[in-house]
A = this chain, B = another copy of it.
Amino acid sequence: MQTRVERMWGQIRNWRGGDASDLHLRPDLPDRDTARLRTLLDATIDGRGGEMAARKRATEIGACFLALDSSGRRRFFELIANEYDHNDAEVDAAMDAVRDAPNSTDRAAAENELRNILRPKRDRLFRRFVGLEGGLSFLVDLREELLPIRNESPELRTLDNDLRVVLARFFDIGLLRLERLTWDSPAVVLEKLIEYEAVHEIRGWDDLRGRLNTGRRCYAFFHPAMANDPVIFVEVAFTKGVPTELEPLLDHSMDQTDPFAADTATFYSISNCHDGLVGVSLGDMLIKSVVDELLREFPNLENLVTLSPIPGFRQWFDEHASHLRALVPSGIPEDPSEAADLQPELLRLAAQYLIVERRSSTNPTMQAERALDPVAHFHLSNGAEVAAINWLANPTPTGWSRSLGMMVNYRYVPDKLEQRHDSYAETGRVAASDELKKLLKLDK
């Protein structure tokens, strides 16, 4: 199977009518070749020959990048990180103009100019990629390649942030289209689900068909410029009662639940499809759009919940519950009763980890400390509550090593999403069910 980058080659060849790059750069991009690349970058960014010509030239840059090896690509990133940001001297001058503006009209003009000057030059390059067939995908993959090295210098970090901002703009929710995927969808789309499913691996086409069966749903966001490539998708199972273990949800083959006879829809898997979109937040809108969609189609649904992992629990447990470490089996116990006497204490600890533990937030719109667990933080930010913690819900080696086999139901109550979102964002207070509060002896 081709890697993403190899697939992109096909696209680029397509862009360029079959020719490889005319620049003939050496794969490791030695110094003597950067001048040629710089000339091409300048012409593209300045829009020489008109917009159409500039966009065609952007394909040449794409072809160059793809022909580079890993050290060449690192040099490419360094080049555009170091030389294609804004110009500090221009910024200083523009700030002086703002400060010295004699009146508000002139100040408004000067501020506008300052904004333009602060915009990095490479922005005009990124934007030109988008107009190309496959160009938006290229930009996403470009960032994916940058991620591993982005922390090596402040300039690379800034470049990464610039790319994130551009991508966030083009992946604005207003441009995405919610689609239900079914067994009637094109194979070229469905195979992407197999490739991208990050939570519960899809084991081939039969497994996939099961996940699209009567008692299941799959919804994805698509971008109009990436027609056959989902951006993020969520998988739903219809059940009677809120599920407390994972396995029945993954055994699709037997599932013939009639959604009209179910009372619960469980989001059992949500997968971001592209690492290059890290930091571009779409999961919240996807879940809520699907909640709306499901309630419209199935007014019979009473519970909209997840069955979620607790990815950070084991590490926290090892650090904070050293008195119990020795008692906990290192692997999943063959006989469940072995761990049974630990159950009450472990559930209590999990509740504490999810509901009480905090860390400071990096998100500027979050004023309070956030929940320590990243999955908890995601659902709480969306306005969900921690509804239940399920003992031995995932009794697999992975499940044991990450969270001692426990899983969580987060519950989405449409009427309470907004208030809970605000309360969490402003005070960091975690919405939890009465049982869990009781377990922790918290006030309601």
Contacts and interface: CB of A to CB of B under 8 A. Distances in A.
Contacts of A158: 108, 112
A98 B89 CA distance: 12
A95 to B, nearest CB: 5
A383 interface: yes
Identical subunits present: 4
B173 A51 contact: yes
B112 A115 contact: no
A110 to B, nearest CB: 10
Given A50-B421, A118-B118, A130-B172, 16 more contacts: A53-B421, A55-B173, A88-B107, A112-B161, A115-B115, A115-B119, A127-B172, A127-B174, A130-B175, A131-B173, A131-B174, A175-B175, A183-B187, A186-B187, A187-B209, A204-B205
Contacts of A111: 86, 91, 118
A135 to B, nearest CB: 7
8 contacts: A50-B383, A51-B173, A55-B173, A88-B107, A114-B114, A114-B118, A184-B188, A186-B187
Nearest to A426: B48
Interface in A201-242: 204-205, 209, 224-225, 228
Contacts of A155: 108
Contacts of A417: 49-50, 52-53
A285 interface: yes
A47 interface: yes
B183 A186 contact: yes
Contacts of A346: none
* A169, A173, A185, A228: residue with the most chain B Cβ atoms closer than 10 Å: A173
Contacts of A112: 158, 161
B418 A48 contact: yes
Contacts of A186: 183-187
A91 B98 contact: yes
A132 interface: yes
A289 B56 CA distance: 12
B185 A154 contact: no
A145 B365 CA distance: 33
B175 A225 contact: yes
Contact of A50 (B105, B131, B183, B418): B418
Contact of A52 (B131, B183, B288): B288
A322 interface: no
A190 interface: yes
B174 A135 contact: yes
A71 to B, nearest CB: 24
Contact of A95 (B98, B177, B225, B422): B98
Interface in A371-420: 381-383, 417-419
Contacts of A180: none
B187 A284 contact: no
A305 interface: no
A362 interface: no
Closest 10 CB pairs of A and B: A49-B418, A130-B174, A131-B174, A224-B224, A50-B421, A105-B154, A53-B418, A52-B288, A184-B186, A115-B118
Contacts of A205: 187, 191, 204-205
A63 interface: no
B95 A382 contact: no
Contacts of A191: 205, 209
A111 to B, nearest CB: 6
